[in-house]
């Protein structure tokens, strides 16, 4: 089987763990997590059994969008540490046989980036064309009707030169002009900078937005816009036709890939939403674009539904060309926590088994391994610009709260007496790593088992996937096979027990139940699942 293992690259075989650095571990006592904190928790991550960490941005930033507004692409914000600490983090990560992926935010910089400061200074500044500037419309308003994701128009007027600049997020996030070859070169150099610092890959922020319509035409109205949108949500009122996912982007994807391919074994992951046929193209016709366009489809809607999950997996499997490797994301720093989205703790266990037994690279968001839930943020504590502009129910702070390490002050995230940048969850004394590590039936223990089993099982990290039709709509069953190794995964999405016959098979051995209380041989003429139970059977 060693030979089989070698057929897979690290980012295919491995499991990625996303760290939101601000919220992971604060070693300086400023209420904000830092790189040293990540170094201190590497043993935890290694022991958990993940293979790679992905860090959300740690670059110098005014933090208008918590680091997704980058003021220097080639440095570390002092609040997180410095380059020397970053290099130590890379070395310590690699010493534990883990890989490190970093966020890259190419679509927009901070308005405090020296490039933008120059660009806005005059119409004939050499960097003017590095950003997207346009004259006002005839009525003096913004050049077109595009809205910002975070509310309001996607354009802000600059008195200095009498033109508007484009920003589809905060006004502090002006968009770079990727049609300008100088911008491309400068941005590719930022990739090389980090490649030289030995990072193993990049997660590329809103990668489908890089090029916009040459003529910046108006977007058409969205006939399905939800009613009762906040008045300033201009974005959702339009169909996103001319501002994202242009076919022209593929040229850039290939260029980006070439930069990475000049180094060994590096991985390009892109944040990419949108319909499946468009999404799949980002692997490249020849597999020469992104290695992994992030697949968020299991998060679509908020419905805990076995058939919907299966349909999503099957549609993606069917759409992938031979060379393309699948991947799955169930949570991140922009979305509700699993436990909150899918109804409760019972569902998070089944979701964990699903994520870690499908064919393709899974990404785990920090804290999911202890079942962290969305934290209600008092209105005066809301930090996220999306929540501030579009209303408290849209704030992403809820899923960015401090990691719950132990039952001590601040859940062990910040030293006692410090106020963390976001409130710690109320339930932290009962829900934390230290407590769950001691508990043989905790969700953390379940993650340990799942990760160990996946890593040691060719069928799970590399085998084929075949769904089975069963008589219950709320049960999802599939086979994973590699050579003689065969696993059957049976997931009961319902709060009722389910018994089903699996005539294709005789006996199986339960190697793992989400309840962590049973293993051993079972006859499969009647396979019984308890409410909200998932099992992995070796056939
Ligand atoms: C991505 C990030 C999100 C950020 C936005 C703008 O969607 O995941 O957190 O606000 O891009 O950079």
- DSSP codes, 365-414: ETTGGGT----PPPGGG---HHHHHH-GGG-SGGG-PPP---SSGGGGTS
What CATH code is carried by the domain that includes residue 498? 2.60.40.1180
Task: Give the model confidence (pLDDT) of 68-92 as tens digits.
Answer: 999 999 999 999 999 999 999 999 9
Nearest to 166 by CA among 182, 183, 149: 149
Q: Is the CB of 154 under 6 A from ligand 1?
A: no
521 part of the active site: no
| Pair (81, 143) in one structural domain | no
Kindly state the tokens that stand for 394: 């849209």
Spacing, Cα 302 to ligand 1 middle (Å): 20
| Pair (390, 469) in one structural domain | no
The CA-based angle 264-295-331, given to 5 degrees, is 105
Spacing, Cα 264 to ligand 1 middle (Å): 28
Judge whether residue 1 has pLDDT over 70.
Answer: no
Mean pLDDT of 315-340: 97
What CATH code is carried by the domain that includes residue 35? 3.20.20.80
Task: Give the model confidence (pLDDT) of 138-194 as tens digits.
Answer: 999 999 999 999 999 999 999 999 999 999 999 999 999 999 999 999 999 999 999
What CATH code is carried by the domain that includes residue 147? 3.90.400.10
Judge whether residue 527 has pLDDT over 90.
Answer: no
| Pair (275, 361) in one structural domain | yes
| Pair (431, 482) in one structural domain | no
Taking CA atoms only, the protein residue closest to ligand 1 atom 7 is: 206
pTM: 0.98
Q: Is the CB of 334 under 6 A from ligand 1?
A: yes
Mean pLDDT of 20-39: 98
Q: Is the CB of 290 under 6 A from ligand 1?
A: no
401-417 per-residue burial string, b: 16 or more CB within 10 A, e: under 16: bbbbbbeeebbbbbeee
Mean pLDDT of 340-355: 95
How far does CA 169 lie from the centroid of its chain?
18
Domain for residue 225, yes or no?
Answer: yes
Taking CA atoms only, the protein residue closest to ligand 1 atom 6 is: 68
pLDDT of residue 302: 65
Kindly state the tokens that stand for 527: 């396979």
Structural domain boundaries, residue 345: 2-108+182-212+248-450
Domain for residue 460, yes or no?
Answer: no
| Pair (349, 471) in one structural domain | no
CB atoms within 10 A of CB 122: 12
pLDDT of residue 466: 98
φ, ψ dihedrals at 108, nearest 5° = -150, 150
509 part of the active site: no
| Pair (257, 159) in one structural domain | no
The answer to whether 156 touches 167, Cβ cutoff 8 Å, is yes
Taking CA atoms only, the protein residue closest to ligand 1 atom 2 is: 205
Query: Quick one: what percent of the chain has pLDDT higher than 70?
Result: 100
Last residue of one domain, picked from the residues 387, 421, 450:
450
Kindly state the tokens that stand for 516: 């962590």
What's the number of domains the chain is made of? 3
Average pLDDT, the chain: 97
Q: Is the CB of 288 under 6 A from ligand 1?
A: no
Kindly state the tokens that stand for 33: 């997590």
| Pair (205, 221) in one structural domain | no
| Pair (414, 477) in one structural domain | no
């Amino acid at each position: 089987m060693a030979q089989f293992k070698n057929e897979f690259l690290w980012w295919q075989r491995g499991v990625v763990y996303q760290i939101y650095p601000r919220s992971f571990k604060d070693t300086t006592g400023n209420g904000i997590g830092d790189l040293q904190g990540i170094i201190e928790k590497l043993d935890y991550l290694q022991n958990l059994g993940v293979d790679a960490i992905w860090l959300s941005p740690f670059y110098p930033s005014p933090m208008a969008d918590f680091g997704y507004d980058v003021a220097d692409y080639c440095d570390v914000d002092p609040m997180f540490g410095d380059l020397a600490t970053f290099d130590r983090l890379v070395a310590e990560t690699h010493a534990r046989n883990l890989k490190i992926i970093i966020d890259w935010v190419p679509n927009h910089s901070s308005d405090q980036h020296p490039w933008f400061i120059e660009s806005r200074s005059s119409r004939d500044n050499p960097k003017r064309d590095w950003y997207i500037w346009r004259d006002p419309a005839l009525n003096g308003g913004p050049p077109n009707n595009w809205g910002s994701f975070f509310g309001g128009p996607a354009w802000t007027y600059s008195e200095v030169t009498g033109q508007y600049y484009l920003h589809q997020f905060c006004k502090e996030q002006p968009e770079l002009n990727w049609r300008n070859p100088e911008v491309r070169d400068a941005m590719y150099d930022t990739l090389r900078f980090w490649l030289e610092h030995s990072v193993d890959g990049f997660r590329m922020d809103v990668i489908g937005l890089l090029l916009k319509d040459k003529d910046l035409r108006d977007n058409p109205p969205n006939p399905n816009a939800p009613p009762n949108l906040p008045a300033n949500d201009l974005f959702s009122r339009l169909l996103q036709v001319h501002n994202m996912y242009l076919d022209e982007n593929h040229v850039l994807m290939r260029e980006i890939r070439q930069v990475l391919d000049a180094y060994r074994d590096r991985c390009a992951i892109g944040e990419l939403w949108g319909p499946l046929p468009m999404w799949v193209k980002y692997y490249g016709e020849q597999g020469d674009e992104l290695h992994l366009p992030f697949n968020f489809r299991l998060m679509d809607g908020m419905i805990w539904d076995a058939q919907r999950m299966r349909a999503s997996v099957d549609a993606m499997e069917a759409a992938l060309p031979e060379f393309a490797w699948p991947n799955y994301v169930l949570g991140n720093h922009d979305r509700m926590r699993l436990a909150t989205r899918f109804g409760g703790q019972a569902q998070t266990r089944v979701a964990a088994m699903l994520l870690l037994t499908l064919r393709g690279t899974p990404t785990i968001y920090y804290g999911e391994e202890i079942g962290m839930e969305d934290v209600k943020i008092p209105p005066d504590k809301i930090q996220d610009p999306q929540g501030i502009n579009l209303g408290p129910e849209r704030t992403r702070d809820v899923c960015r709260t401090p990691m719950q390490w132990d039952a001590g002050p601040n859940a062990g995230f910040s030293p006692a007496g410090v106020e963390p940048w976001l409130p710690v969850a109320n339930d932290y004394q009962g829900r934390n790593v230290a407590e769950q590590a001691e508990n043989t039936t905790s969700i953390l223990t379940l993650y340990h088992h799942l990760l160990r089993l996946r890593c040691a099982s060719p069928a799970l990290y590399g085998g084929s996937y075949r769904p089975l039709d069963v008589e219950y709509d709320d049960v999802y069953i599939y086979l994973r096979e590699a050579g003689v190794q065969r696993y059957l995964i049976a997931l009961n999405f319902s709060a009722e027990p389910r018994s089903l016959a699996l005539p294709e098979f005789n006996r199986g051995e339960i190697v793992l139940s989400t309840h962590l209380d049973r293993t051993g041989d079972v006859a499969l003429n009647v396979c019984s699942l308890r409410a909200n139970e998932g099992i992995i059977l070796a056939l």
